[in-house]
């Protein structure tokens, strides 16, 4: 570790003073370290580690590059957890508290979001589209906590999900027709049940000429459509910049001539704005946490109440009925396999 720190320091100095690229500066730093070192150096390993630190995300980069790994998290120094094809694993390696903090700042640089004592938690996106969540003390008891949810399948389709066994041929036909016909669909399920992946596949099945406006807390969708505007929320800034909420994004989206309004995850007062928008004739697609399709509908009958306005059950029931045509429920079994387990038509009988 001391050798690596020495090489990183020399590399940064050489890159700054000699106008060298990172790899050239790293090699020169290793050569100089070898000259002054009494014993042999593992130059290949040091070169790889230095380049990961300087051009990638250090110890996290191999995990981020592994397509089998779905989620990575850090609870404390010298320990990295991840979930992949073989389930939950813990990787023990040297990664100090200061390295974890530095990693956080480097990861946040892409999204230009910040974490500090005034804003001790943050959601952001990495350059590859993965979702980053960071929480720091005093919210956590002692250490910085990091979660990275990876999104490794851009431009996924319903046919692809069928080949994976996540959806049946009959379900593909039903959902493809619904998207082409401009129907509104609510995608529900638990965390990691594949809701965002299914939503991206549904959008790939829509009319290629549709203008899509998406509103998310953090950028997660990856679409191939050219007429697509992606928007994300913004927390209040320490310099006085106001918060931009999901409710505000939905209002802005309505001024942008959408053929389809997409909301990454409905969890609060924005449900009211969404229901009003979809009742104006704009097809919608959104995700919502629930443990069944019917539970998702019941949740939609309560979330708008968080808007704090004079809303009655007599208003909500016909509004929900007019907003959505189908509710899809995604589930995940004990082996981690995702599937569409239920598709429910929204009718007055289930409200």
Three-state DSSP at 216 gives: strand
For the entire predicted model, the pTM comes to 0.79
| pLDDT number for residue 326 | 97
| pLDDT number for residue 27 | 59
| pLDDT number for residue 246 | 92
Encode 133-151: b = buried (16+ Cβ within 10 Å), e = exposed. ebebeeeeeebbbbbbbbb
| pLDDT number for residue 7 | 56
DSSP-derived secondary structure for 63-77: HHH-TT--EEEEEET
| pLDDT number for residue 255 | 94
Give the integer Cα–Cα distance in Å for 262 and 194. Answer: 16
Q: Per this entry, what is the length of the chain?
A: 351
The answer to whether residues 114 and 121 touch, using CB atoms and an 8 Å cutoff, is no
Residues in the chain, pLDDT under 50: 1, 14
| pLDDT number for residue 230 | 95
Give the integer Cα–Cα distance in Å for 108 and 3. Answer: 27
| pLDDT number for residue 16 | 56
| pLDDT number for residue 76 | 95
| pLDDT number for residue 196 | 92
Angle between helices 246-253 and 270-278 (to 10 degrees): 20
User: Which residues touch 320 (CB under 8 Å, ≥6 apart)?
Assistant: 275, 297, 300, 301, 346, 351
The answer to whether residues 303 and 290 touch, using CB atoms and an 8 Å cutoff, is no
| pLDDT number for residue 256 | 95
């Amino acid at each position: 570790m001391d050798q690596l720190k020495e090489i990183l320091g020399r590399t940064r100095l050489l890159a700054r003073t000699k106008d060298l690229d990172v790899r050239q500066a790293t090699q020169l730093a290793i050569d100089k370290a070898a000259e002054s070192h009494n014993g042999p150096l593992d130059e290949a390993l040091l070169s790889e580690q230095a380049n990961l630190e300087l051009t990638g995300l250090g110890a996290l980069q191999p995990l981020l590059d592994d397509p089998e790994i779905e989620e990575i998290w850090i609870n404390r120094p010298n320990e990295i957890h991840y979930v992949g094809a073989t389930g939950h694993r813990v990787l023990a390696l040297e990664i100090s508290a200061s390295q974890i903090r530095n990693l956080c700042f480097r990861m946040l640089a892409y999204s230009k979001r910040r974490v500090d004592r005034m804003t001790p938690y943050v959601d952001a996106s990495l350059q590859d589209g993965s979702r980053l969540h960071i929480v720091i003390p005093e919210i956590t008891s002692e250490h910085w906590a990091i979660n990275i949810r990876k999104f490794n399948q851009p431009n996924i389709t319903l046919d692809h999900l069928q080949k994976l066994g996540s959806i049946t041929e009959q379900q593909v036909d039903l959902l493809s027709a619904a998207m082409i016909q401009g129907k509104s669909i609510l995608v529900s399920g638990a965390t990691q049940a594949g809701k965002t992946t299914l939503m991206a596949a549904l959008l790939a099945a829509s009319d290629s000429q549709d203008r899509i406006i998406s509103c998310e807390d953090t950028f997660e969708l990856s679409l191939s459509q050219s007429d697509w505007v992606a928007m994300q929320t913004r927390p209040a800034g320490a310099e006085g910049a106001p918060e931009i909420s999901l409710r505000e994004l939905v209002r802005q989206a309505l001024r942008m001539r959408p053929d389809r309004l997409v909301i990454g995850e409905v969890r609060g007062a924005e449900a009211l704005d969404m229901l009003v928008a979809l009742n104006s004739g704009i097809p919608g697609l959104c995700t919502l946490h629930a443990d069944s399709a019917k539970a998702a509908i019941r949740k939609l009958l309560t979330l708008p109440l968080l808007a704090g306005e004079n809303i009655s059950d007599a208003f909500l029931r016909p509004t929900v009925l007019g907003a959505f045509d189908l509710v899809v429920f995604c589930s995940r079994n004990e082996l981690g396999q995702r599937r569409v387990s239920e598709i429910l038509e929204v009718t007055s009988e289930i409200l």
